[in-house]
Amino acid sequence: MEVFFYYAILIVLISNFIFERWLDYLNTTNWSSELPPELLGIYDKDKYQKSQKYEKASHRFTLVTETLGFIAILLIFATGGFGWLDGIIRSRVSNPIHVALAFFAILGLVTEIVSLPFKWYDTFVIEEKFGFNKTTRRVFLIDQIKGLIIGAIIGGIILYLIVWIYLIAGNLFWIYSLLVIAIFSVFMLLFYSSLIVPFFNKQTPLADGDLKDTIRAFSNKAGFLLDNVYVIDGSKRSTKANAYFTGLGRRKRIVLYDTLINDLDKEEIVAVLAHEIGHYKKHHVISGLFFSLMTTGLMLYIFSLMSSYPAFAQVLGSNVPSFHLALISFGILYSPLSLLFGLSLHCLSRRNEFQADRFAAENYKGEYLASALKKLSINNLSNLTPHPAYVFFHYSHPTLLQRLKKLAEIQ
């Protein structure tokens, strides 16, 4: 059994890596120095060339980091590194919950430290070179520390509860832990904007003026309270612009980046807002939550059936079965299935984006949304011609050209 698991894990790790690199490679075959005709006249040649260079730089960066990550995990796995770490912790700590917490804390901290220079390079070399970066070194370092502390607190609490349930609930482990995850997900949807975001960004109500009046007129008509529209200081870190809808019930909110407000005209901003209201009207947050809880439930159920196999720990170099080692072995073996679920979630999300676009076109004006999407794509140097296979597996949003085409059909 152990030998079977050993090769199964190796095969999954290697084929995942090859598959992802193959998708990346397909994307490079779609690079084109020709501007798509839909954008002629609005995308100048120099800027388009810059977007191609940005695409290439990002591709190289991903190739290097993913390859190093792959080699690292392969080495740790082949040398029994996970079992070794487990043994060291066990020689000092006896409570199984504390062993699991220490195990993931050390893994998390090491991953964080090792990935720090790469995040630094991405922010201060690549993003800087293409004019996106606004993050100061101070903000960058404080972000990392805050992220680490918040992640440790939230992750620690969830992990503590789940390992505790694992140790006492037997066959019903998957139901109780799914319940914990569901309650936590709803809690995060309700309070993420008011509890977590303020550690990193300022969110303010729209300033009085022409824009606010125009937005009020539209949001009244669409039945969305203006009090739930916020502006966030995204410009503190990057020139890239965005907007999103989050939350549930009375705690729903639409968040517009200050960069978006600077980049777009008034009508275009209202069109983006209309798209976000579309997400709310079509209940996309709830359907997304429901779908991800279904897939998490299935994963927990299969995990609860298999996690007691001693081979899950043995294959990682330990003779003591445990929740955390089983989670690592299982996580790797399960990854082809989670790829499949991720893919379905992306399909659902792309369908939702089309629905929100349609809502904006029917309730406001499609041509303003189209021009907003074009401007955002150009300013963010988005890849205009990703390979369809790459889009199918990895894109949560349809491509710009797909969205423009659908918007034109609605008109």
Active site (catalytic) residues? 276, 357
Q: What one-character DSSP code corresponds to residue 244?
A: E
Q: How far apart are CA 218 and CA 226, in angstroms?
A: 9
Rank residues 240 and 324 by Cβ distance to Zn ion and give the closer one.
240
Rank residues 59 and 351 by Cβ distance to Zn ion and give the closer one.
351
Angle, nearest 10°, between helix axes 323-363 and 284-306? 160
Rank residues 59 and 281 by Cβ distance to Zn ion and give the closer one.
281
Rank residues 52 and 242 by Cβ distance to Zn ion and give the closer one.
242
Amino acid letter for position 324: H
Nearest to 109 by CA among 63, 75, 144, 81: 144
What is the helix (H) or strand (E) element at residue 243, kind and residue range? strand 243-246
- Return all residues near 40 (Cβ < 8 A) that are at least 6 apart: none
What does the block give as tokens for 272?
């983006």
Nearest to 39 by CA among 408, 400, 409: 400
Chain centroid, CA 98 distance in Å: 29
Rank residues 316 and 356 by Cβ distance to Zn ion and give the closer one.
356
Shortest approach of Zn ion to residue 282 CB, angstroms? 10
Query: What residues line the site for Zn ion (CB under 5 A)?
Result: 353, 356
Q: How far apart are CA 137 and CA 130, in angstroms?
A: 17
Q: How far apart are CA 40 and CA 47, in angstroms?
A: 12
Shortest approach of Zn ion to residue 276 CB, angstroms? 7
Q: How far apart are CA 2 and CA 385, in angstroms?
A: 45
Q: Which residue's entry shows tokens 């970066």?
A: 133
3-state secondary structure of 203: strand
